[in-house]
Amino acid sequence: MKRPTTVLLTALAPVSWGTTYAVTTEFLPPDRPLFTALVRALPAGLLLLALTRVLPRGVWWAKAAVLGALNIGAFFPLLFVSAYRLPGGMAAVVGSAGPLFVVALSVPLLRERPAARTLATGAVAALGVSLVVLKGAGALDAAGVLAAVAATASMSAGTVLTRRWGRPDGVGPLALTGWQLTVGGLIVAPVALLAEGAPPALDGRAIGGYLYLALANTAVAYWLWFRGIGRLGATRAGFLGPLSPLTAAVTGWAALGQALTPVQALGMALAFAATLAGQLGSGVGYGRRTSYRKQPYSTARTCTSATSGSAKASANAGAKPSGASTSRPPRMRPSAE
C-alpha cells in the first residue's frame, strides 16, 4: 500500500478518538470514567480475539501485557478521569504534547536522535492545539492535570514500544490489537468494580454510545493505529495525534453552532501544518530503526565488509572466491525484539 493511503488510514484513528468526548457527554452516564473505559476496551478485545483466534506465545505473553497496560489499561481510565475533572480543552492541550513524548522516548528505546526540525514541529503542534481548545477558566484541578499528563506519557510509551517490538511472525495487527484491548480491559475491570460499584442502568442512548466506542472508536481505530505505527514509525504516527483534539473541538462547534475565532483559526492552521510536516520529514528522528532480527547493524556491516575483503583477496590471488563472496550478504530484517 502506498504511503499516503497508509497515512490517511492511520489518521482515521485519532480523528475517531476526537469524537470520544462528545459521545461521552451526550450519550453516556455521567461520572463513570472507569466503567466507560472497561466497556470501551474489553468487549472490543474479546471480539477481535474471537475473529482472529490467535493467542500470544512465549515472551509475547509478557509483551502483550505491557503494551495492553500502557496503551489501554492505564491510558483509558486516565483519559476519562482527566476529561471529567479538567475545564474546557485542557486535557486536549496536554494530549497534544504526545509527539514530544514520543520523540523523547524514542531516544532510549529506539536509539533515534531527534532532529531539531522534529522537536520544533512537535512544539508548533502543541501550540496550535492550545490556541484552538484552551480557554480561560478557573483554577485547574491538580488530579486532572496529573491524569492528563500520565495518560499522554502512557500512550506515548506504548506507541514507541509497539514500534520497537513489532509483531510476532505470522501475527497481524488485528490480533495484536485484540491482545492489548483484552489485557487492558481485564486490568480495568476489578478497579472499576471496587471504585465505582455495580454498573449503572443503561438506556438506548447509552447502549448506542457504548457500541460506537467499543467498535468504531476502539476496535477499528486501534487496529488502524497499531498497523500505522508498524508502517510509518512511531514518530510519524505520533504526529497524527493532534488530529484528535482538533476533531474534538470541531465536533463541539458543530454540535453547539459556534464559530471559530481568529485565534482559534490560527491555532488550527498551525496544528494542521505541524501534522503535515510530521509526515513529510525524513531521516534521523523520524522513525528509523537501528536493531535487526539476526544481529546488530554494526556487526552485520562488519561481517559484510570482511566478506567483501576476503573475496577481493581471493580474486587477486587467482583463486575462486569462497561461497560467501559469490552470494549476497545476509539480508537484515527489522527485529521484533
Sign of CA dihedral 202, 203, 204, 210: negative
- Answer for the pair 213, 35: CB distance below 8 angstroms, yes or no: no
The confidence score (pLDDT) of residue 130 equals 75
Mean pLDDT of 220-248: 85
The confidence score (pLDDT) of residue 59 equals 96
Helix residue spans in 197-261 (DSSP H): 204-214, 221-232, 234-238, 243-256
Query: What is the C-alpha to C-alpha distance for residues 83 and 91, in angstroms, rounded to an integer?
Result: 6
Tell me which of 115 and 201 has the higher pLDDT. Answer: 201
Tell me which of 330 and 134 has the higher pLDDT. Answer: 134
Least confident of 156-170, 235-249, 290-304, 305-319: 290-304
Phi, then psi, of 334 in degrees rounded to 5: -60, 135
User: Is the pLDDT at 17 greater than 80, yes or no?
Assistant: yes
Query: What is the C-alpha to C-alpha distance for residues 148 and 159, in angstroms, rounded to an integer?
Result: 17
pLDDT tens across 272-309, in order?
787 777 777 544 344 444 333 333 333 343 334 444 44
Cβ within 8 Å of residue 105, ≥6 positions away = 156, 157, 160
Mean pLDDT, the chain, whole residue set: 77
The confidence score (pLDDT) of residue 21 equals 77
Sign of CA dihedral 14, 45, 37, 212: positive
Query: What is the C-alpha to C-alpha distance for residues 192 and 199, in angstroms, rounded to an integer?
Result: 9
Least confident of 79-83, 219-223, 311-315: 311-315
**Residue whose C-alpha cell reads 501485557 in the numeric block:** 65
Query: What is the C-alpha to C-alpha distance for residues 228 and 163, in angstroms, rounded to an integer?
Result: 10
Sign of CA dihedral 143, 24, 50, 167: negative
Residue among 73, 228, 67, 230 nearest 161 (CA): 67
Question: With a threshold of 0.85, does the pTM exceed it?
Answer: no
Query: What is the C-alpha to C-alpha distance for residues 161 and 164, in angstroms, rounded to an integer?
Result: 5
State percent of the chain over pLDDT 70: 75
Phi, then psi, of 198 in degrees rounded to 5: -65, 155
The confidence score (pLDDT) of residue 154 equals 94
Instruction: Detail the DSSP E strand segments found in 168-221.
Output: none
- Answer for the pair 297, 291: CB distance below 8 angstroms, yes or no: yes
